[in-house]
């Protein structure tokens, strides 16, 4: 089956204008794909047409405002100002400020100021020039940028002007994410204006992509082995077919939360550092405290890692790394592998945990870091050869396409080929009450609904507390108010917890059923909002405030981008005008004063552009840009078309047009007055109030400055007089310089344009008003006729008949 059959296989029909965005959010890079009407099934590209989005952002304080940069623009900013860079955020999701993942981040990115979100909520936040940004807000910025790119792609695909909005998203995540991490990621998406339809385990996502181009007559077991930038996961999946339904199920899982591409990069960076420090008399602390130097070292190590995947050695050089000292070292693949020796067992540990003693058909490699040679070498050694290693999916993109397929299946908005996606809980979810634990979902659970008895509360009356534990860790507490008393239930109360594990693997205790223990005759469904003793999710108000903050930043970015684009256009137009004003033909045939004026304008504005003041508004820049364009047009007109446009015949034509415009407006003014007088007479004849009817007309009358209009008409009349003079004085026009004639022509054209615009607006409003007044008059006439007919009938009925007299 061809890869392109994937669309026909799974995605058959879209209901209405539904859309779904899929994002594979990685530690270093994210990929995105969109399903929507008229959109090809492909990746969403960055603004530089790259297939991978940087999973981070640069936040710079500039001229009293915050400026954000994404993708390669962010990386460029990081080189200059490393303290403005926020990358490798995935490891911080849902973490408290004192956890080891945060400590490692601070050590690695020393220029970044990590702070607690608040005293009541000690989660990760960042201080940027005195402004605090929650981790969820920074993640939201990245997701919002991807959303914006997807909406732009949709609009451009449909030819522009569609302005479609994407609101639903499905995200792929490591299966090991806990409730805090999943909640934080969902909060970040909501801040970005996205509703999270589902969180799909990334191993299952790759499995879906793999299955989309294959048929399975018999049940098969495969392992999705994924080494990403931040972690390594092994997911044992089974593929089976029941009639036409494809069943994809995760049946085993192993992971290492910190073994991945970033560890490889850090190891290479350490090798490069050691070589550099050995060559030069620099204290390690001096190097490590220089955030800019460490950032450049990190980038060099990343490049070296890519080179060593295909070569036995690489040269690493950085000009003026620190104290004007250049870095020049050579690193070999053997050195790299030797340095990684202590970590080699971590390569196969997740695989062993996931598979156990089961037989598998293949180990499917996913994630960019599976390309590192020693990773594949150790896998092959563990498996007894490389026969089971499969490169049958795109290691970088399989997850996002599988995520989209999983989201389509879960969302219910799309008609698809029957598919059963089975995600095991992969960990225990328990409730504690009255000193006893009750398992709601265990590691192998596939059900998403459960009702469990809480034996620790058996017989208790009054208020009760239930605590939720995930993998032995307390996450939330519920305090229920129970009003059932001993009179109603003398034998006490039994309690049953109704729970859900939703499509995002978020645990919800929907209600607590309290039932009389003796006969079950009295029941009460209790609900309570959870409290969180550890990680605290964002509340609705906090998410609204964060979303408002992001909208404000987005508007600032948009205005800044417009301003920057306008500055670029102004600069380009100035160089164009300078080149044109220096052209030999222009110098020879253009008016000398205008050529000089053009050159002076270029010189003045280029100096201004050297240091554009921050106070310069878009309006200021636009006016300067318009002035340059007008100057260019005037020069070009005079040089290339002056003889024709400034001829007596052309001015005579403009005179006739001017007279026609003046007469038309004057005649229309008379018509307006006559129409009004005629209708007023008709209204008066019927005894109707014309002024009252006129007030009821809902037509917006254009505002016309009569004095300004009169002045325009006078200037047009003056132009007619000038042309009359030219026509009666032979050779007079030839004595005028081109610049004077051009200005005369431009001025009258502008006056005519304004007068014609006024005429059209008045005419349209007048016609609507007259039509409305005539309709009112017609209705009034019908009412009067009906009233008169009624009066006649009443009079006839009142006359005595001759038969009555007899």
Among 23, 10, 17, smallest CA distance to 39 is for 17
CB 233 within 8 A of CB 407: no
Q: What is the pLDDT of residue 212?
A: 87
Question: pLDDT at position 704, please?
Answer: 80
pLDDT of 17: 52
**What is the rounded average pLDDT of the residues 394-415?**
88
Lowest mean pLDDT among 395-409, 619-633, 722-736: 722-736
**Model confidence at 730, in pLDDT bands (50, 70, 90)?**
confident
Contact at 8 Å (CB) between 721 and 686? Answer: no
The CA distance from 479 to 714, in Å, is 84
In the numeric block, which tokens belong to residue 127?
């201080």
Query: CB within 8 A of 65, min separation 6: which ones?
Result: 556, 560
Mean pLDDT (whole number) for 189-211 = 96
Helix (H) / strand (E) containing 363: strand 362-366
Q: Which residue(s) pair with 29 in the sheet?
A: 54
Helix (H) or strand (E) holding 112: none
C-alpha radius of gyration, the chain, whole number: 39
Q: 281 Cβ partners below 8 Å, 6+ apart? A: none
Residue 488 tokens, joined = 């109603």
pLDDT at 469 over 90: yes
Residue 100's alpha-carbon distances to 119, 717, 781, in angstroms, are 19, 83, 87
User: How many other C-beta atoms can be found within 10 angstroms of the C-beta atom of residue 643?
Assistant: 11
Q: Which two tokens stand for residue 23?
A: 């994002």
pLDDT score of 801: 54
Q: What percent of the chain has pLDDT over 90?
A: 63
Q: Which pLDDT does position 1 carry in this prediction?
A: 37
Domain range annotation of the chain = 5-215+394-416, 429-538, 542-642, 648-794
Cα gap 644→661, rounded to integer Å: 23
Helical H segments across 90-195, by residue range: 100-108, 135-157, 179-191
pLDDT (0 to 100) of residue 799: 64
Contact criterion met (CB below 8 Å) for 206 and 393: yes
Alpha-carbon span 309 to 42, nearest angstrom: 27
Cα 176 from Cα 90, distance rounded (Å): 13
Tokens linked to 612: 């554009």
Report d(CA 118, CA 486) in Å as an integer: 44
At residue 736 the predicted structure's pLDDT band, cuts being 50, 70 and 90, is confident
Within 202-331, residue ranges assigned H as helices are: 202-211, 261-279, 284-288, 291-308
Averaged pLDDT, 53-72: 89
Q: Is residue 194 predicted with pLDDT exceeding 90?
A: yes
User: Residue 13 pLDDT > 70, yes or no?
Assistant: no
Q: Are 176 and 233 in contact (CB under 8 A)?
A: yes
Q: What is the helix (H) or strand (E) element at residue 245, kind and residue range? A: strand 245-256
Report whether pLDDT(802) > 80: no
- Whether 11 shows a pLDDT value over 80: the answer reads no
| The two structure tokens encoding residue 654 | 């403009």
Q: Give buried/exposed letters for 471-490 (b at 16+ CB in 10 A, else e).
A: eeeebbebebebebeeeebe
Query: Band of the pLDDT at 352, cuts 50, 70, 90?
Result: very high
Per the prediction, the chain carries an average pLDDT of 89
Q: How far apart are CA 465 and CA 472, in angstroms?
A: 17
Top CATH class of 542-642 equals mainly alpha
Residue of 633, 654, 664 lying closest to 744 (CA atoms) = 654
Phi, psi of 210 (to 5 degrees): -65, -45
Question: DSSP 3-state helix, strand, coil percentages of the chain (rounded to 5)?
Answer: 50, 20, 30
The dihedral over CA atoms of 469, 475, 480, 486, expressed in degrees to the nearest 10, equals 30
Alpha-carbon distance 750 to 757, whole Å?
A: 11
Per-residue pLDDT, 239: 95
Do 406 and 423 contact (CB within 8 A), yes or no?
no
Span 366-379, mean pLDDT?
93
Q: What is the fold, at CATH topology level, of the domain defined by 5-215+394-416?
A: Nucleotidyltransferase; domain 5 (3.30.420)
Q: DSSP class of residue 453?
A: E
Backbone region of residue 41 per phi and psi (left: phi > 0; alpha: psi in -120 to 50; beta: other values): beta
Residue 15 has pLDDT above 60, yes or no: no
Query: Does 10 score more than 50 pLDDT?
Result: no
260 vs 368: CA distance, rounded Å: 10
pLDDT at 414: 73
Mind listing the pLDDT tens digit for each residue in 65-77? 888 999 989 988 8
Is residue 16 pLDDT above 70, yes or no?
no
Average pLDDT of the segment spanning 750-772: 91
Contacts of 271 (CB under 8 A, 6+ apart): 331, 335, 336, 339
| Average pLDDT score over residue span 768-772 | 90
- Inform me whether the pLDDT recorded for 398 exceeds 90: yes
| Three-class secondary structure of residue 505 per DSSP | coil
221-275: pLDDT as tens digits: 999 999 999 999 999 999 998 888 889 999 999 999 999 999 999 999 999 999 9
Residue 143 has pLDDT above 80, yes or no: yes
pLDDT higher than 70, residue 138: yes
As a whole number of angstroms, the distance between CA 713 and CA 162 comes to 43
For 255-275, b/e burial (b = at least 16 CB within 10 A) is bbebbbbbbbbebbbebbbeb
Convert the pLDDT of each residue in 334-344 to its tens digit: 999 999 999 99
Q: Which residues contact 761 (CB under 8 A, 6 or more apart)?
A: 702
Token duo for residue 35: 């399903």
Say which DSSP state 43 is in: B
Give the residue with greater pLDDT, 792 vs 316.
Answer: 316
Could you tell me the fold of the domain covering 429-538? Substrate Binding Domain Of DNAk; Chain A, domain 1 (2.60.34)
328: three-class secondary structure by DSSP? strand
Residue 80, class by beta-carbon neighbours within 10 Å (0-12 exposed, 13-18 middle, 19+ buried)? exposed
Contact indicator for 451, 497 with CB cutoff of 8 Å: yes
**pLDDT bucket at 5, cuts 50 / 70 / 90:** very low
Return the closest-CA partner of residue 408 out of 109, 617, 197, 193.
197
* pLDDT of res. 613: 75
Q: Which residue has the higher pLDDT, 655 or 185?
A: 185
pTM for the full model?
A: 0.77
Mean pLDDT of 572-578: 95
- Helices and strands per DSSP (H, E), number in the chain: 22, 29
Who contacts 636 (Cβ-Cβ below 8 Å, separation ≥6)? 580
How far is the C-alpha of 333 from the C-alpha of 373, rounded, in Å?
Answer: 9
Question: What tokens does 705 get?
Answer: 């400055």
Statement: residue 296 has pLDDT above 60: yes
Instruction: Give the model's confidence band at 409: pLDDT under 50 very low, under 70 low, under 90 confident, else very high.
Output: confident
Q: Is the pLDDT of residue 14 over 50?
A: no
């Amino acid at each position: 089956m061809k890869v392109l059959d994937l669309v026909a296989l799974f995605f058959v029909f879209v209901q209405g204008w539904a859309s779904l965005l899929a994002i594979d959010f990685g530690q270093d890079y994210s990929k995105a794909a969109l399903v929507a009407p008229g959109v090809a099934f492909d990746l969403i590209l960055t603004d530089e047409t790259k297939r991978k989005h940087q999973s981070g952002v640069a936040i710079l304080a500039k001229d009293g405002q915050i400026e954000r940069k994404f993708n390669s623009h962010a990386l460029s900013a990081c080189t200059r100002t490393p303290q403005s860079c926020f990358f490798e955020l995935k490891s911080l999701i849902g973490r408290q400020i004192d956890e080891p993942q945060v400590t490692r981040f601070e050590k690695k990115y020393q220029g970044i100021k990590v702070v607690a979100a608040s005293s009541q909520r000690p989660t990760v936040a960042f201080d940027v020039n005195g402004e605090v940004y929650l981790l969820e807000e920074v993640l939201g910025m990245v997701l919002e940028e991807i959303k914006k790119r997807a909406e732009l792609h949709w609009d451009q695909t449909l030819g522009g002007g569609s302005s479609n909005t994407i609101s639903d998203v499905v995200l792929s995540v490591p299966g090991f994410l806990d409730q805090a991490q999943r909640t934080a990621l969902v909060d970040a998406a909501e801040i970005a204006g996205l509703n999270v339809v589902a969180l799909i385990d990334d191993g299952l996502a790759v499995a879906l992509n793999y299955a989309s181009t294959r048929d399975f007559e018999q049940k098969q077991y495969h392992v999705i082995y994924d080494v990403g930038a931040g972690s390594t996961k092994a997911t044992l999946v089974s593929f089976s077919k029941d009639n036409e339904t494809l069943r994809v199920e995760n049946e085993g899982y192993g992971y290492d939360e910190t073994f991945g591409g970033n560890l490889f990069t850090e190891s290479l960076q350490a090798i490069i550092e050691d070589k550099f420090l050995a060559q030069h008399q620099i204290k390690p602390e001096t190097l490590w405290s220089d955030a800019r130097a460490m950032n450049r070292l990190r980038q060099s190590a990343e490049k070296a890692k890519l080179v060593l995947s295909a070569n036995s050695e690489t040269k690493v050089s950085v000009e003026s790394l620190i104290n004007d000292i250049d870095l020049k070292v050579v690193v070999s693949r053997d050195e790299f592998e030797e340095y990684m020796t202590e970590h080699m067992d971590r390569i196969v540990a997740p695989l062993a945990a996931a598979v156990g003693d089961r037989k598998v058909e293949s180990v499917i490699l996913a994630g960019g870091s599976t390309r590192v040679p020693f990773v594949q070498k150790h896998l092959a050694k563990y498996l007894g050869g490389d026969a089971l290693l499969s490169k049958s999916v795109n290691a970088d993109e399989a997850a996002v396409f599988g995520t989209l397929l999983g989201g389509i299946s879960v969302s219910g908005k799309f008609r698809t080929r029957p598919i059963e996606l089975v995600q095991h809980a992969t960990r225990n979810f328990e409730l504690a009450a009255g000193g006893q634990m009750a398992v709601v979902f265990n590691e192998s659970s596939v059900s998403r609904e459960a009702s469990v008895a809480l034996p620790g509360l058996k017989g208790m009356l009054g208020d009760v507390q239930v605590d939720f534990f995930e993998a032995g860790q307390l996450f939330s507490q519920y305090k229920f108010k129970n009003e059932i008393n001993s009179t109603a239930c003398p034998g006490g109360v039994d309690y049953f917890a109704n729970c859900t594990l939703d499509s995002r693997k978020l645990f919800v205790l929907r209600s607590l059923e309290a039932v009389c223990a003796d006969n079950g005759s009295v029941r009460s469904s209790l609900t309570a909002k959870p409290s969180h003793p550890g990680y605290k999710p964002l509340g609705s108000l906090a998410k609204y405030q964060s979303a408002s903050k992001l909208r404000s930043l987005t508007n600032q970015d948009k205005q800044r981008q417009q301003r920057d684009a306008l500055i670029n256009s102004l600069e380009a137009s100035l160089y164009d005008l300078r080149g044109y004003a220096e052209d030999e033909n222009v110098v020879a045939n253009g008016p000398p004063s205008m050529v000089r004026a053009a050159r002076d304008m270029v010189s003045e504005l280029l100096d201004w552009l050297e240091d554009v003041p921050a106070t310069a508004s878009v309006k200021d820049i636009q006016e300067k840009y318009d002035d340059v364009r007008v100057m260019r047009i005037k020069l070009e007109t005079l040089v290339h078309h002056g003889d024709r446009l400034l001829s007596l015949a052309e001015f005579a034509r403009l005179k006739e047009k001017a007279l026609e415009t003046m007469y038309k407006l004057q005649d229309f003014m008379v018509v307006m007055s006559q129409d009004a007088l005629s209708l007023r007479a008709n209204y008066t004849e019927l005894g109707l109030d014309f002024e009252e009817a006129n007030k009821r007309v809902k037509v917006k009358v254009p505002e016309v400055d009569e004095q300004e209009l009169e002045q325009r008409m006078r200037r047009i009349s003056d132009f007619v007089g000038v042309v009359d003079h030219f026509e009666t004085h032979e050779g007079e026009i030839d004595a005028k310089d081109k610049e004077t004639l051009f200005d005369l022509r431009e001025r009258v054209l502008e006056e005519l344009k304004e007068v014609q615009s006024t005429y059209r607006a008045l005419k349209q409003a007048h016609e609507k008003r007259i039509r409305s007044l005539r309709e009112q008059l017609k209705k009034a006439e019908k009412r009067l006729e009906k009233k008169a007919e009624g009066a006649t009938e009443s009079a006839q009925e009142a006359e005595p008949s001759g038969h009555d007299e007899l």
